[in-house]
A and B are shown apart, each in its own frame.
Chain A
Amino acid sequence: MSAPARDRRTAESAAAGTPSDVQHRRPRQLWGRPELYTSYAQSTRMLNTRPKLFGVLALIALAVYLPFGVEDQYLHIGALAFAAAVGAIGLNLVTGFAGQVSLGHAFFLAVGAYTAAALSGDPDGRTLGFGITFMPVWLLAAGLVAGVIGIIVAPIATRLRGLYLAIVTLGLVFLGEHIFKEWQDLTGGPGVGRAGPVPDLFGNRLNESGDVLTADQKLYLTMLVLLIIFAIFAKNLVRSKVGRAFSAVRDRDIAAEIIGVSLTRYKVIAFGVSSFYAGCAGAMVYTVVGFFDPTSFTLVLSINYVAMVLIGGAGTISGSIMGAIFITALPRLTQELPTVVPFISTDPTASVNTLNAAVVLYGLLIIVFLIFEPRGLFGIWLRIRNYFKAWPFSY
């Protein structure tokens, strides 16, 4: 019995409404025909084709294998990248999906980081601390506090559009900088700083080396698990009614309001969810970094996340993850530049050195990606995928 014949019979009996045949034959996906959806359940799944499923499983397997095959310094970058990816997903939700330009991401990162650090900090230390080191508690608290502040800020933001909104969120960053510089009990003050949040899971300190895994390996795996959870939530949000409302608000907000998509409600949801993600990301990033002071949360940090979103691909979840990994790994990559490009020196006082080159490359990448590939790294992936989909034909 050939496979197409079996599926034909299944389809026929399903059309005839015969219940017994439909119960016996599970709809099978055809090899080589990934976009042939044979059941409603399959077409509404997140990973709805076999290649997608196997691809994602392979990527996750690779990511889980990495700690056992790669040096710790790269795992540190990996952990930072995964934590930043959560923040990038948050910013993508509000800027890429809902179209609300927000340069204020650094403020929500700071709120999350300081909430988490305060909750899990040493009660007898120099800075504010409550000693609750159980990770899910302070992670959720960081997200919730940042999310609530996002919801409070949102109504002001819903009155403004476009560049006015961007500059007002910029003002939020400056306000936050001022507050955190002044609140020295919490932050330690500029230049002095405080320790990052303490991750503790059922007695297992995640940022200290144990018997089986080193600190970097533990942190990397923790951040990987958290990223997968956050990414699944975000992807499902985007596929839902809320996500469709976001896209409507981004594309034609007046038309969306006319057909019944409440602009205020969905803009507030967008800001709230995005700040929740930013709060969690702030807590996660500074768990990996370990020590931070209020001068880290400036406009430059906001622009970093905007770059992750734009270079990765605005309006896509996997794009934000790709962009975050790329931007986080960029400084480390540019350290390898002097071996390839001779006139860049490693001496920090020379006028062309690796630090300058890293920043110039960063700026140039933003410009080049926006001019030549506005869909970002995800757009590049789409081109590659479409090439192989149509191969050996060109269209």
Chain B
Amino acid sequence: MTEPISTFLQAIAGGLGQGAVYALLALGFVIIYKSMRVVSFAQPALMLAGAVLVTYLVEPLSGLGRTGAFFVSLLIAVVGVAVIGLGVERAVIRPMIGKPVFVIAIITLGIDIVVRVVLSGFIGVDVRQVGDPWGLDQVSLAGVLVQERHLVMFATTAVVVAVLFAFFKYSRLGLAMRAASFDQETALAQGVSVGTVFALSWAMAGGLAAIAGTFVATGAGVDDNLWIIGLKALPAIILGGLDSLGGAVVGGLVVGLVESLVATYQADLAPWLGQNFAVVSPYVVMLLILLVRPYGLFGTREVERV
């Protein structure tokens, strides 16, 4: 395989792997949005919480071998952060139902600030490691160098997305959630417990954020600035449309791909854009798509009544 093609494929592979993590984060945002019409800015904090929990659980469980310890602590962290999400929803968000959406979004921002500061106390001064068995190892697939952790990220995301779609399509609770997101009042009239839907959506978002956070931390470890990566899911959800689950996955992958491609090629093709333009490129893509489709690629147009 020639050099330019393998570079391109490497960028694609890395982008898809990273994009898988953004897709998980974006799914969390979208699930909460679909049930409550609120963008929860607390997701980055929950992501950090998941990563921190895993760093604390990996050592005591090291008897299960590196891979076993990692996945078991990941599962426990998912449950733990889901519980935190439940607690936050019940304590802070539930009393605010019916208030303007912007107010609730700012409250989630406040929660994000509080939780992150508390977690930074747990992180301490050093960078903590998640104890994953892959580190930065690379494997060669048909001549293309792919990072092992990207493969695992993509595979995990594929499994999670499949489970989520099956849940929403075939299970009663999934049907209830879809009904509540479509029309809350009618769902209530049909006997759907909307309170349970809210609680479940926050729990699911917390779990997804925990998985995403752990995988983001596999590269560099957990430190105070991990939460900024959580904000990258915002262009993903806007791209895909705030109320579309498929759009969230597509948006996450697109953001990952754009970042990776720009990081690989921008220094040669457009050096005047500055270093690290890759960090800003998802926002530029988001702005461009919004100019054409103001509700995202797959979002539904809001019907406003006077």
Q: Which A residues contact B (CB, under 8 angstroms)?
A: 101, 156, 159-164, 166-168, 170-171, 174-175, 177-179, 181-182, 252, 254-255, 258, 299, 303, 306, 310, 349, 351-352, 356, 359-360, 362-367, 370-371, 374
Contact = CB atoms under 8 A, between A and B. Distances in A.
Residue among B277, B294, B296, B305 facing the most chain A CB atoms (10 A cut-off): B294
B62 interface: no
A162 B99 contact: no
Nearest to B125: A349
A363 B117 contact: yes
A329 to B, nearest CB: 18
Interface string B265-291: 000000000111101100110110011
Given A352-B121, A360-B118, A371-B92, A164 B295 contact: yes
Interface residues of B, number: 50
11 contacts: A159-B290, A167-B39, A167-B238, A171-B284, A171-B287, A182-B274, A306-B106, A359-B113, A360-B114, A363-B111, A370-B107
Contact of A171 (B117, B121, B242, B283): B283
A245 B185 CA distance: 33
B105 interface: yes
Nearest to B284: A175
A370 B117 contact: no
Given A371-B92, A371-B95, A170 B279 contact: no
Interface of B: 38-39, 92, 95-96, 99, 101-103, 105-107, 109-114, 117-118, 120-122, 124-125, 231, 234-235, 237-238, 242, 274-277, 279-280, 283-284, 286-287, 290-291, 294-296, 302, 304-306
A178 B277 contact: yes
Nearest to B112: A363
A367 B111 contact: yes
Contact of B242 (A164, A182, A349): A164
Given A167-B39, A254-B306, A370-B110, 20 more contacts: A101-B102, A159-B290, A159-B294, A161-B302, A164-B294, A166-B39, A168-B290, A171-B286, A174-B280, A174-B283, A175-B280, A178-B280, A252-B306, A351-B124, A359-B113, A363-B114, A364-B114, A366-B109, A370-B96, A370-B103
Residue among B111, B113, B279, B295 facing the most chain A CB atoms (10 A cut-off): B113
A13 to B, nearest CB: 48
A174 B228 CA distance: 11
Contact of A162 (B101, B112, B291): B101
Residue among A156, A161, A174, A351 facing the most chain B CB atoms (10 A cut-off): A174
Nearest to B294: A159
B65 to A, nearest CB: 32
Contacts of B105: 163, 166
Contacts of A352: 121
Contact of A168 (B95, B238, B274): B238
B275 to A, nearest CB: 7
Nearest to A155: B291
Contacts of B294: 159-160, 164
A255 B305 CA distance: 9
A255 to B, nearest CB: 5
A149 to B, nearest CB: 15
A139 B24 CA distance: 46
Contact of B110 (A252, A254, A366): A366
**Which 4 residue pairs are nearest across A and B when measured between Cβ atoms?**
A182-B274, A363-B113, A171-B283, A366-B110
